Amino acid sequence: SEAADQLGVMHSMEAMKAIMAIEYVAPMSDENVTVTDTEFSNVAVRLYLPRKPSDGLRRAVVYFHGGGWCVGQAGMKSYDHLTRWTSDRLNAVVVSVDYRLAPKYHFPVQFEDAYSVTKFFLQSSVLSQYGVDPDRVCVAGDSAGGNLAAAVAQQLLKDSEVKTRLKAQALVYPALQTLDLNLPSYQENDNKPLLPRLFMVKFWSEYFTSDSSLREAMASNRHVPVESSHLFQFVNWSNFLPEELKKGHVYTGPAFGSPELAQKYPGFLDPRAAPLLASDAQLRGLPLTYILTCGHDVLRDDGVMYAQRLRAAGVPVTHDHAKDAFHGAMMFVLSPAELAVGHRLLNRYIRWLNENL
């Protein structure tokens, strides 16, 4: 995909989408789950309805796939497996959201798609149509999808039109902040497979714009203007990371950049794109939370800091840290050893949902 970009054939993210298209599977029902592609609030979704009988109203999960807001889809084999398995194991309705992607669409489109689907689904008439218990609905997602799930959960607290409240949110190695792209986890996993630092920087910048100046500023960690310096209190890892994760790293404070980028692309300072930027008061009232982080992951510290801040705000949190796992381990398996790790993480995620939703 990078070669296609360099040669001027197509944008790297469009090339990656084309490559990943081979992973697409059509909606196929089986003896346990009925699967259909449809739309909620004019946004494409893949809907999973369990076939086994239920004693009463069912649980429900609204799921947002990962892929850096640029690639991925509900119909990818790995996501179809996850959401189908979730529906079957939990006897739950699962809505897997195909939000629009960069580079064709930039923030806030992805968030707005995720939010409009969730808000539509939470209407009492829709919940009733699918036999869902309004007191047992969860939002969930991995990576960029974990970002969307966290942002949706925060926004729902502000929306007086939504009467149904979430029971839980499940965030799997989520991307949660844009301010400091040189956290200890970014430094330690700079060139690790699947999600090296510069790849994550490209995903972040592409979420907001295809203008390379933002990507270059983010790569040097000089993209935040001094006028926004007050936001760094929410991502100051020296206050939120345990000693074992600091590993001798010394917090030096931000190096500020030009205000022009923030004026042109204010999204990277918006809590709807970076949920860790929400104030402590805005975090209070969030639902029961599950956060999975992995040791070999540039996004590790985002999840760890969010868990710490949520606890301080009085939110019940289960933080599951897999020291031996890498970013994407729950979805993408490359060898028998990693397959075992992926299954372990998937079982933990499903077990938590089963016990708490």
Q: Which residues are catalytic?
A: 143, 297, 327
The amino acid at residue 294 is C
- Beta bridge partners, 98, equal 44
Cβ-contact 90, 354 below 8 angstroms: yes
For the chain, what is the total number of helices (H) and then of strands (E)?
15, 8
The amino acid at residue 51 is R
- Under DSSP, is residue 340 helix (H, G, I), strand (E, B) or coil? helix
- In whole angstroms, what is the distance from residue 221 CA to residue 55 CA? 53
Alpha-carbon distances of 179 from 103, 172, 203, rounded to whole Å? 21, 20, 14
Q: Is 159 exposed, middle or buried (0-12, 13-18, 19+ CB in 10 A)?
A: exposed
Cis peptide before 184 (omega within 30 of 0): no
Q: Is 22 exposed, middle or buried (0-12, 13-18, 19+ CB in 10 A)?
A: exposed
- In whole angstroms, what is the distance from residue 32 CA to residue 22 CA? 25
Cβ-contact 331, 297 below 8 angstroms: no
- In whole angstroms, what is the distance from residue 27 CA to residue 24 CA? 10
In this structure, the chain runs to a length of 357
Q: In this structure, what is the dihedral angle of CA atoms 322, 327, 332, 336, given to the nearest 10 degrees?
A: -50
Neighbours of 125 (CB within 10 A): 6
Cβ-contact 97, 45 below 8 angstroms: yes
